[in-house]
Amino acid sequence: NLLLLETAVGAIGAKANRTSINVVGKGATLPTGYTPKGNSVTGPKGSVYGNTGKVDASGNTIYSNNGGYYTFENGVKTKVQSPNSDSQIRQNYEKGKEFEQSVYDKLKQDPKLKTPVREVTIETNEGTKVRVDIMAKDRDGSIRCIECKSSQTAPLTKNQKTGFPELKEGGGTVVGKGRPGFESGTKIPPTEVEIVRPNAKDN
């Protein structure tokens, strides 16, 4: 009986330890410089890690930042695979293209704009390459650069975060194949990229 009792106690202790470990994982002790803010985490340089609403096999919340996915456990930030399935990623891509097409169709009907074109790659004067979803010229020849984001939370890519401010400050040059009106080698003056998102009620 004593042996059975010891075995039972050992089993209970092991179970308790597993629970404790799991709770620690879910607690997500943040690395130095990282602070919680609502459901998100703010990094030491102000970068926001959004809660994806999903967890890894250990129960750690998965956060997204600039196209990457991360967990925080025991003071360590770890990069992990996307929690989204291939089908979900494909759906997000198609949703983005559909929204881009709808914006493009509206711009084509604007009499103030010359024929808009899609997907033009620009290299800024600082050397960063960015692809702009839609470009057009107005009656005065001024250039419009438009980036379409299909949701209120869809982030800019790493290159966009760097390249768009550079394009605004110093302009750039069209590279690659270009498009009619924006052929390869075309100089783009300092131009602010307009970020277009759907209305919140439509998103």
DSSP per position, 34-93: -EEETTEEE-TTS-EEEEEEEE-TTSPEEEEETTEEEEEETTEEEEE--SS-HHHHHHHH
Q: What percent of the chain has pLDDT over 70?
A: 80
What are the φ/ψ torsions at residue 198 (nearest 5 degrees)? -70, 155
What's the pLDDT score for residue 87? 62
**What is the rounded average pLDDT of the residues 154-160?**
87
**How would you list the strands of the sheet with 187-188, edge to edge?**
187-188, 172-175, 117-124, 129-137, 143-148, 193-196
- Which pTM was predicted? 0.54
Confidence of residue 153 (pLDDT cuts 50, 70, 90): confident
Instruction: Mean pLDDT check: name the lowest of 16-30, 57-71, 98-112, 154-168.
Output: 16-30
